[in-house]
Amino acid sequence: MSQDTHSVKPWGGRFSEATDAFVERFTASVEFDQRLYHHDINGSIAHATMLAAVGVLTDDEKSTIIDGLNAIREDIAAGKFNWSVSLEDVHMNVEAELTNRIGITGKKLHTGRSRNDQVATDIRLYLRDEIDAIGQELTRLQQGLVTLADNNADTIMPGFTHLQTAQPVTFGHHLLAWNEMLERDYQRLMDCRKRVNQSPLGAAALAGTTYPIDRELTAKLLGFEAPTRNSLDSVSDRDFAIEFCSFAALVMTHLSRASEELVLWTSAQFNFIDLPDRFCTGSSIMPQKKNPDVPELVRGKTGRVNGHLISLLTLMKSQPLAYNKDNQEDKEPLFDAIDTVKDCLRAFADMIPAISPVKESMYESAKRGFSTATDLADYLVRKGIPFRDSHEVVGKSVAYGIEQKKDLSEMSLEELKQFSDVIEEDVFEVLTLEGSVAARDHIGGTAPNQVKAAAAKAKALIEAR
């Protein structure tokens, strides 16, 4: 990056001394906003096309501008562009280079436009593409999850509340719970996209412009749904970026919760799943270690994305209308939120199909911890005992089991009968893990046939996108 403090500023007319060298660096954004170049050039091409359509530029001028911009695009993509800090941002770097290359015609591009509507347009175009890429990764992750769930519709594991064994569930059911969170995230992302996809171009600095511009045309050329409705709002609003960051914070929160479970499940203490070596790393001192770094990092990265949401909310909260330079600070949080979410979704989408459940271990764990105690209570209720009394009876049976080191299903009928004489031989059907999950046979329940049906529905929802 060059720092030629003597170069002429595009806005230098009313200034009598050069910008202070530190101030120049302090106010510049080109180091981080150059990633907008592709969308900046697309916005400029649409603007030039519109200016020609309404007679502000000639067709020749338009073609010269478009050819020049496309050549600049190629050079930037090839890494052959010399970015200059003294030209402040991506917009002025590209425009100055255009004028360097095509001469006076380049100076006409900015007619009827300001960097204020230009930058708002660029961010929206950029974010729209990133939303689509993120949506695809989210879809890939959900496909993997639902397939794994479908394959494990009858794999029994303990379900937890308070991280204490509660009732048996199926692994498929647990995975579909994650999918529900991600399905809502996808819906939120698509809803956010609608508000991102509005064109601020033509709002100019804040009040609109005196040229006979056609905002419908630029909106259409750029694939926006419509022009925004108020010029002041158009240049100052960043709530579309805040909305994206709140989506990002939520999806990261969901990935973080799943990560936490993956980390627990890979531990020797749980031993519920095996994570292939390629998603883990070793320890430099303890040779036996295989650490679940990928889920740990996803969990860790959630913090910074939550932070970006707070940064943007705080950035906006005191800004008077319309554009303020504060808004230049929108980019780094937004870009980092985009990059982080995309990487984490990619890591998860790659990792989930590679998970193999250690079924025996899940099953053994579900057998410990009296996970069918509620089933016994429900059984007693069916035999006419009020629920509160049956709760008491089962509590006593569990205390006995703890003392005798026996699960409920391992006790004899005689042993069980000491707590209630309504207990008969048929009790063993409800005390098995299979019987317990199969009995929760309703929409949203953990019965294997319900899990199968839920997986099929989830798959259909994903395919309908």
Find the catalytic residue in 29, 38, 173, 283: 283
How far is Cα 82 from Cα 87, in angstroms, rounded to an integer?
Answer: 11
| Helix (H/G/I), strand (E/B), else coil: 323 | coil
Closer of 29 and 231 to ligand ARG (Cβ): 29
Residue 327 found at the interface with ligand ARG (CB under 6 A): yes
Residue 408: how many other CB atoms lie within 10 Å: 24
Strand pairing partners for 161? Answer: 164
Q: How far is the CB of 323 from ligand ARG (least distance, A)?
A: 6
| Nearest to 245, CA basis, from 301, 310, 193 | 310
> Which is closer to ligand ARG, CB of 33 or CB of 154?
33
Beta carbon of residue 275, minimum distance to ligand ARG (angstroms, whole number): 42
Q: For ligand ARG, which is the closer residue by CB, 330 or 407?
A: 330
Q: Which residue of 328, 390, 446, 450 would you call a contact of ligand ARG, by CB under 6 A?
A: 328
**Closer of 34 and 63 to ligand ARG (Cβ):** 34
- Total binding residues toward ligand ARG, as defined by CB under 6 A: 10
**Site map for ligand ARG, 378-407, x if CB under 6 A?**
------------------------------
Provide the minimum distance between the beta carbon of 452 and ligand ARG in the complex, in angstroms, as a whole number.
Answer: 51
Report the nearest approach of ligand ARG to the CB of residue 209 (Å). Answer: 15
Other CB atoms within 10 Å distance of the CB of residue 208: 17
* 3 state DSSP class of 339: helix
Half-sphere exposure of 40 (CA within 13 A, CB side): 24
Asked if residues 85 and 114 have their Cβ atoms less than 8 Å apart, the reply is no
Token pair for 350: 């790659």
Residue 162 a catalytic site member: yes
**Residue whose structure tokens are 């399905």:** 183
Contacting ligand ARG (CB under 6 A), which of 116, 198, 246, 365? 116
Q: Does the protein bind ligand ARG through residue 119 (CB under 6 A)?
A: yes
Q: Look at residue 320 and give its three-state secondary structure.
A: coil
Contact, 254 vs 181, CB < 8 A? yes
The two tokens of residue 413 are: 């009928």
Q: Which of 461, 36, 31 is nearest to 241 (CA)?
A: 36
Piece of the chain touching ligand ARG by CB under 6 A; list 253-261, 305-313, 321-329, 411-419: 321-329
Q: Residue 39 catalytic?
A: no
Shortest distance, CB of residue 327 to ligand ARG, whole angstroms? 5
- 115 binds ligand ARG, rule: CB under 6 A: yes
Phi, psi of 159 (to 5 degrees): -95, 150
With CB under 6 A as the contact rule, the residue among 24, 40, 61, 89 that binds ligand ARG is: 89
197 binds ligand ARG, rule: CB under 6 A: no
Token code pair at residue 97: 């280079």
- Name beta bridge partners: 158: 168
State which of positions 20-49 bind ligand ARG (CB under 6 A).
29, 33
Question: Which region among 95-103, 115-123, 356-364, 385-393 touches ligand ARG (by CB under 6 A)?
Answer: 115-123
- The DSSP output letter for 291 is B
Tokens of 64: 């010269």
**Nearest approach, Cβ of residue 229 and ligand ARG (Å):** 21
Of the candidates 217, 237, 236, the one whose C-alpha atom is nearest the C-alpha of residue 227 is 217
DSSP secondary structure of 215-273: HHHHHHHTT-SEE-S-HHHHHH--HHHHHHHHHHHHHHHHHHHHHHHHHHHHSTTT--E
Q: 255: closest CA among 358, 361, 142, 366? A: 142
Task: Give the active site residue among 2, 29, 84, 162.
Answer: 162
Residue 84 DSSP class: B
Q: Rounded to an integer, what distance in angstroms lies between the CA atom of residue 270 and that of residue 124? A: 45
Nearest to ligand ARG of 119, 358 (CB atom): 119
Cβ proximity to ligand ARG: between 337 and 416 the closer is 337
Please say which residue, 128 or 359, places its beta carbon nearer to ligand ARG. 128
* Interface with ligand ARG, residue 14, by CB under 6 A: no
Which of these ranges, 41-49, 126-134, 320-328, 433-441, lies near ligand ARG under the rule CB under 6 A? 320-328
Using the contact rule CB under 6 A, the part of the chain among 14-22, 52-60, 224-232, 319-327 near ligand ARG is 319-327
Residues 6+ apart with CB under 8 A from 184: none
Q: Which is nearer to ligand ARG, 309 or 315 (CB)?
A: 315
Shorter beta-carbon distance to ligand ARG: residue 119 or 134? 119
Catalytic residues: 162, 283
Binding positions for ligand ARG, rule: CB under 6 A: 29, 33, 89, 115-116, 119, 323, 325, 327-328
